[in-house]
Structures are given as structure tokens and as C-alpha cells.
Amino acid sequence: MRVLAIDQGTSATKAIVVVDGIVVSTAESACAPTITADGGVEVDPELLWRTVVDAGRSALEQAGAHVPDAIGFANQGETILAWDRATGRPNSTAIVWQDRRSTTVCDRLRADGWAERLAAITGLELDPYFVAPKVAWLRERVDKNAAITTSDVWLLNRLCGSFATDAATASRTLLLDLDSVSWSEEACGAFGIDPDSLPAIVANAGPIGETTAFTDSPVPITGLCVDQQAALFAESCSAAGEAKCTYGTGAFLLASTGHTPTRSTNGLVGCVAWRVGEETIWCLDGQVYTVGAAVTWLREVGLIDGPADLDRLGASVGGSNGVTFVPGLAGLGAPFWAPNARGAITGLSLGTTRAHLVRAVIEGIAAQVAWLAKAAGADLGSPLTMLRVDGGLTRSTVLLQTQADLLQAPIEVYPSPNATALGVAEFAQLGAGAGRESAAWEPAMIVEPKITADEAEHRLASWRAVTEATLGIDG
């Protein structure tokens, strides 16, 4: 079976062609967002559309331009835009998941006592990371008749005329009843949203519509998913306690809870992992907002020339020499939920070198991920015994070793850089009536801890103490 899988991400759209479970071509088209002075993170929706079409067509051309049997489409989750359903034209920029400007909406609802109730209904924190606060914020600034949806709904509408989103993406909105996997009238009411205006919720595998965006002949779209859950599916994390972390623009740790919808009591959020047929799998989720974005920042301020310097400089020193990095460059997600937090570098001395600063960034990222893993273990009732990882930064051996050390568990590296696209390709195969041809895989490497549990606890406690001390910093 030949599948075209599209992964529409934060900084680029990637496309792969999978034939009988084997990746035969890849393509990528950049769509990096713009950062505004008031905490906004935006991108032109038409740029997103062009990158989807360009990457998809390029991947097919490289694969021999054969018409695929099915298409899978993954999206970046919490990014939204306003658009005209009659014409399909955007009425706003796309407001990216990192955007902080709807913090005021969250503050108002929190003051009115909504935070705990929304968590009970949806499994999510009341935070501008999620969809509904952005929708409420944007509604005040656009035509009242405009549809405001996640970016996948608009892109799918252009591709095949549907008005739908998948169950996993819907669970990222703060509007979904986590147990019933349906729109919650109560949650919608909190944000002033009419539930009848929301898209249909569909399974992750099944026919959505047909498109001629990539070929002259119509091709069915049969797989949909938000990016992180697609990677969780590709990495075969379906049983309770199986977990993965993707190191991309941000880092996203997801731990399956199996057939049980779970509300975290340790700072994570509960979501739908996927729905296939009548079966629904749920998961816990935690986020570090700036990971690849922190590496970009290192380059922009002149501390590194590129990602390869993470290991060249980071491995040249045995540690950070007392320097601590807090990756709050776009606020802090789980388990802190501090949207106004700032990034911080502390512990500088005259002996601090560029290498120490780079090492501190690596250690800060790994420390927050380790705290997410601790929270997942507490919610699940036992520590994570292994973490599967994917994403561009898994090329850094220093990051992988630091992560294994702080986690005190082995790290299994996914063998492909295309976990999200492969996951949604598998959904597309299932939705087209085929099996999971690419489900079996072996780790590219396994990284074991090299420090003691006591040393790991000391490092994590020191990092957390510094992080909590910086939470009151407000620019």
C-alpha cells in the first residue's frame, strides 16, 4: 500500500511516502512563525497551505509520482485561525500554540472559579497553550461571523471540503468531555462558544474525504491525528505506562493510560491518545515549550553555530559548572503552568565558558522532561521504566545521556526522524482497510543511566529549586 503522510508542524511541513511500510521519499517546506513583542507567535495561514501542498507534491515526485492509495494528515495541535466557511479565506493570522496573549482570558476564568471545573471535564489545565483561550481572545478581534478553529480543520476544508477534527486534536481544546469524547456544553459555555459551531469529531482512522491537491486523480484522506499522539502511536505506546518524548520545537512527553481516561493530580494533563473504530486509548501529557526553540535562541545570540555544537561544546566539559538554565523562553508548561514565566540562566561566574552555557541548556531541558516523567509515574502509580524518544535533538548524544541519567531509566531512540508522519501513515492505512505495515521497529540505540539515583535526585532537586525561585520574575 502506498501512503502519503503529511506532518504539518510548527517550523516546517514534512511529507513522506510510505510503500508497504517502508519510507521511500521525504520532503520538507519551512513555515517558521513570527514572534511579536507582546507575546504573540503567528504564521500566515496561506504559508501553511503552500507548505502542505509543496511538501506533499515533492515527496510524491521523488517517489515516482505514483498516485497514493491514501493520505494521512498530522497537525500541530493547538494552533488556531479565523476563516470564512463560505469562501475558505483566512480572516486572521494563525495563532500558534506557543502564543501567550490569551493569558488574560485564563486569568479571568480562573478568578471566576473555572480552573478546577474545566480540568474535571476536559483533563486540561486552564492555560493559553490550549485552544479555547486563544479562540476567546481572537473572537474579540475578528468578524463575529468568522469560524475559529484549529488549523487542521481549515487545512482539511481546503483539501477535501470537510469540517471535522480528530478525537485526539479535539482533546487539546479545553472544550471536550474527556470521558465521552464529545463537545462539552458546559466547557463551551465558559468560553462563550456555541458547541454547534464546532467541527465534527471523527476517529483517527477512517475516510474523511478526497483531495486533488497533490495529484490529478482524487485520493482519499483516511488518517488524521495531532502530531504528538501520532508519534505515540508510531512508537507503539498503547499499554498503560508506555511513554515517549518528542524533542522538536518543544519537548512533549506522553504516557499511555490505556483504556482509562485520567485526570492528573501531579501537573500533567489528560488527553485522548487516539480512537480507532470503537476503541479509544487515552494518555497523560506534559510539555517543555522551548527545546528546539532554545537551540535556535542559542544560535541567534551567537553561542552556537548550529545544532552540532550541542555535542561539540556540551561534551567538552563534564558539567555546567554550577550554571542552571530554566527553559521558560515562552513560559513554562507542565508541571508548573506558568505562562508568564521567563527563561533564566543562573550560577554564572568568571569561570563560566560558552561550553558551560550550552551544557546548562541541555541539562535544563532534560531536567524538565525528567520532572514530567516523575509526574507521569506518580499519576500511574509506578515510575516509568523506559522512555522512547524521537525528534531532531535525539541526534545529540549529550542530551540522550543526560536524559537517561536524570530519568534513571533507559532511553530507546526511535530509528526514524519521521515518527509523527509514520504514525499518521499507519492511521491512514487502518482507515483505508489495511493493517499496520510499519508497526514493528527496533531502537536505533538504547542509552542507559551512568549516574546513581542519589546523584540524579540531587541534580533534579537543585534544578527545580532554581526554577521555582525564578517563577516570580516578570518582564
Together in a domain, 215 and 310: no
Give me the DSSP letters along 250-262. SEEEEEEEET---
Show Cβ contacts of residue 68 under 8 Å, excluding neighbours closer than 6 positions. 2, 3, 4, 17, 60, 214, 215, 219
With beta carbons less than 8 A apart as the criterion, state whether 234 and 419 touch: yes
Rounded CA gap, 116 and 191, in Å?
Answer: 15
Percent of the chain with pLDDT over 70: 99
Show Cβ contacts of residue 336 under 8 Å, excluding neighbours closer than 6 positions. 267, 467, 468, 471
Which of 198, 215, 235 delimits the end of a domain? 235
Together in a domain, 78 and 209: yes
User: Which H or E run contains 456?
Assistant: helix 453-470
Together in a domain, 64 and 135: yes
User: Which H or E run contains 387?
Assistant: strand 387-390
Q: Dump pLDDT digits (tens) for 74-97.
A: 999 999 999 999 999 999 999 999
| Predicted local distance difference test score (pLDDT) of residue 474 | 56
| Predicted local distance difference test score (pLDDT) of residue 438 | 57
Residue 456 lies in a domain: yes
Domain holding 47, by residue range, is 2-235
Q: Dump pLDDT digits (tens) for 344-358.
A: 999 999 999 999 999
Residue 253 lies in a domain: no
Rounded CA gap, 278 and 196, in Å?
Answer: 24
Q: Dump pLDDT digits (tens) for 278-326.
A: 999 999 999 999 999 999 999 999 999 999 999 999 999 999 999 999 9
Rounded CA gap, 307 and 295, in Å?
Answer: 7
Q: Dump pLDDT digits (tens) for 427-462.
A: 999 999 997 765 678 999 999 999 999 999 999 999
Together in a domain, 203 and 315: no
Cα 4 versus chain centre, distance: 21
b (16+ CB within 10 A) / e for 62-83: ebeeeebbbbbbbbbbbbbbbb
Q: Dump pLDDT digits (tens) for 212-230.
A: 999 999 999 999 999 999 9
* Cis upstream peptide for 199 (omega within 30°): no
Which of 235, 251, 273 delimits the end of a domain? 235
| HEC letters along 166-226 | EHHHHCCCCCEECCCCEECHHHHHHCCCCHHHCCEEECCEEEEEEECCCCCCCEEEEEEEE
Rounded CA gap, 88 and 147, in Å?
Answer: 10
What is the β-pairing status of strands 279-288 and 251-258? antiparallel
Q: How many domains does the chain have?
A: 2
Which of 235, 267, 297 delimits the end of a domain? 235
| Predicted local distance difference test score (pLDDT) of residue 475 | 47
What average pLDDT does range 166-174 have in this prediction?
A: 98
Residue 141 lies in a domain: yes
Positive or negative: CA dihedral 164, 168, 171, 177: positive
- Name the pTM for this structure: 0.94
- The yes-or-no verdict on residue 364 having pLDDT over 90 is yes
| Predicted local distance difference test score (pLDDT) of residue 439 | 62
Of 143, 261, 121, the C-alpha closest to 191 is 121
Q: Write the single-letter amino acid at 149.
A: T
User: Residue 408 gets which letter from DSSP?
Assistant: T
- Residue 227 has phi, psi (to 5 degrees) of -60, -45
Together in a domain, 228 and 303: no
Together in a domain, 303 and 221: no
With beta carbons less than 8 A apart as the criterion, state whether 381 and 355 touch: no
Together in a domain, 227 and 292: no
Q: Dump pLDDT digits (tens) for 237-262.
A: 999 999 999 999 899 999 999 999 99
Together in a domain, 37 and 149: yes
| Predicted local distance difference test score (pLDDT) of residue 436 | 73
Residue 41 lies in a domain: yes
For the chain, the average pLDDT equals: 96
Together in a domain, 200 and 347: no
CATH number at residue 106: 3.30.420.40
What average pLDDT does range 113-128 have in this prediction?
A: 97
Together in a domain, 300 and 174: no
